[in-house]
Amino acid sequence: MNLKKIITYLSLSITITLIYCNQKKNTNNKDSFNEKLTNNNKLIPKHIKKIPHFTNSCYASSALSLFIPIFKENMNFNKLKIKKTKPLNGNDLITNSFIKIIDEMYDKNNNSLRIKDGTIKDFFDAFKNKYPFFDNSQQHDSQEFLSYLINTLQESNSLISINDELNSYDDLKPIDILKKWNNFKLRSSEIIKNFWGLFLSKIQCPKCKKKHYSYQNFIFYMSPVVMNKIEDCLNNFEEKEILTDSNKWYCTDCKDFRNAITTTKVIEYPKNLFLYLKRFNLISKEKITKEIKVKPLLKLKNINNKEFTFKLLGAIIHYGSIRGGHYVVCIYDKSINQWILVDDIGDSKIISEKEALDKISNNGYLLFYNKLK
């Protein structure tokens, strides 16, 4: 064999060897990646299941993925099942189908990574039948969907009229309200006990200084998107408005309509606090993409200046614009003491607390805090 052929043979051998080594290296990297993915998925609890994705339904699946673990943690949901001893109304059908999702999600013998299509379809059919404006393929607001769901569960399981209760508070001074409110919660539904807070609305006549007090419950506390002062914003919240023109207030002392000043502030935060960040400007049709500084702990005070500590346990995150986008969820799972990213069109995965806080700070939309004992 001449020298030219030897060099050609050696070059070909080296090339084949390098190709084999690179293929082997890539195979090893792929195996390593798959092993990490498998190990990651093994750590994710069985109750973290993907909710089937229908057309533009991430607004609902993200809300359910956030709310169901909260609901299961705080409530005896078996008490909420509606017995078929009476004709079931729209609220009852939604409640029962919602409980079926929870039963399937937390079934210890269910090793599936997703909820059955039929289970979710039954829930959506019941929900959209009662609220037909959700019965389309458009993207909807995740907070709006969750608001309707929580209120439906409340209406389906309460014999107490919240409006009658709150109307009885009119003109009582704020200092006298907390005791009445807490007594009311003790004899009311699990939803009210766990998810409702209380606002004070004060109207004052600018001329005679007469004050009128009224009270309103809330589930979602709306906050402006502020850089580093969410905690201060919540503790110092006081919304003022002057009632003018057709909204003038009739002062019973002056016997006349006045441009009265109305002030709204928090009397009591709920045990489970949903902090709703106002990222969407419906007037300018733009999304506020400003980063906020989310803390894992919030210290909030009630009207008596008693301080409570709230821990961040989850958030709905919105990617995209006001005209379209995608919702995902970050939730803290106590069973493994880890944060999990849940996506109805992707795989769930464990993430670090830093990564979770970064995602929530950049694109957090609805944050969930639990009051520590």
Domain boundaries, the chain: 1-33
Task: Express each pLDDT in 58-82 by its tens digit.
Answer: 999 999 999 999 998 887 655 555 5
CA distance linking residue 212 with residue 369, whole number of Å: 32
What is residue 129's predicted lDDT score, i.e. its pLDDT? Answer: 94
Model-level pTM? 0.81
Please state the rounded mean pLDDT for residues 304-324: 89
* pLDDT at residue 367 tops 60: yes
Average pLDDT over residues 246-266: 91
Position 226 pLDDT exceeds 80: no
Place 36 in a pLDDT band, splitting at 50, 70 and 90: very low
pLDDT value, residue 10? 32
Q: How far is CA 244 from CA 94, 144, 218, 241, 261, in A?
A: 41, 29, 25, 9, 9
pLDDT band at 253 (very low <50, low <70, confident <90, very high): very high
Summarised one tens digit per residue, pLDDT across range 349-363 is: 999 999 999 999 999
Nearest-CA neighbor of 200 among 225, 186, 180, 224?
180
Task: Tell me which of 56 and 134 has the higher pLDDT.
Answer: 134
For residue 54, which phi and psi values (nearest 5 degrees)? Answer: -100, 180
At 264-306, the pLDDT tens digits run: 888 889 999 999 988 877 777 778 788 888 889 999 887 778 8
Closest CA to 235 of 315, 180, 300, 296: 300
356, 359, 361, 362 alpha-carbon torsion, rounded to 10°? 170
* Band of pLDDT at residue 263, cut at 50, 70 and 90: confident
Give exposure, 101-139, as e/b (b: 16+ Cβ within 10 Å): bbebbbeeeeeeeebeeebbebbbebbeeebeebeeeeb
**Residue scoring higher pLDDT (93 or 74):** 93
> What per-residue confidence (pLDDT) applies to 97?
93
Give the per-residue pLDDT at 252.
Answer: 92
Please give the pLDDT value at position 87.
Answer: 66
